[in-house]
Amino acid sequence: MAAAIPPGDHRAYMRLALEQARKSPPKPTNYCVGAVLVDVAANEILATGFTLELPGNTHAEQCCFMKLSEKHGVAEEDLKDALPSALALYTTVEPCSKRLSGNIPCVERVVRLTGAIRTVYVGVMEPETFVAENTGGKSLEAAGIALVHVRGFEEEILAVATAGHVKG
């Protein structure tokens, strides 16, 4: 999948992640999130994902990794060996640090790819609606993965992310 986005255009990649988020079916029990995984050296989009794209109460980042795992014929935990070593993950909302569903948190999935994923670009930090004090960003930075906030999308991302939530 070739990118028509100029290298380093973080706002354009975040817009693409937001387009993915809009595909998520709105539910009151999770956020509609979009993610894009980019090979920085080749400026190539390796995978996209959105909340609930795949079966199993899946999150956007998880869908990216599951699709790549299937494409390369490796288990998700071995995916690092199949990927280039300079990746950037764009996600509309900070990767979760806890899953109430029992699934592996997205931040753990990203940390497993330390050395391949160098930077995670987020549109907003995770609101405390479902998980108080999300430690995703701190976990990424502790693993040596840079966390960069791409500003200017907060209002739009939160409107999409909370579609289906009861407004109080």
- Over residues 50-93, the pLDDT tens digits come to 999 999 889 999 999 999 999 999 999 999 999 999 999 999 99
Q: Measured between alpha carbons, how far is 27 from 12 in angstroms, rounded to an integer?
A: 27
pLDDT in tens, 125-149: 866 555 556 677 889 999 999 999 9
What is d(CA 17, CA 11) in angstroms, rounded to the nearest whole number?
10
- Kindly write down the DSSP assignment for every residue of 73-91, as one continuous string: TS-GGGGGGGS-S-EEEEE
Domain 10-161 has CATH 3.30.300.180: no
Active-site entry in 19, 44, 53, 61: 61
Q: Are 17 and 92 in contact (CB under 8 A)?
A: yes
Respond yes or no: is residue 44 known to be catalytic: no
Bigger pLDDT: 160 or 28? 160
Helix (H, G, I), strand (E, B) or coil at 109: helix
Nearest to 84 by CA among 43, 48, 116: 116
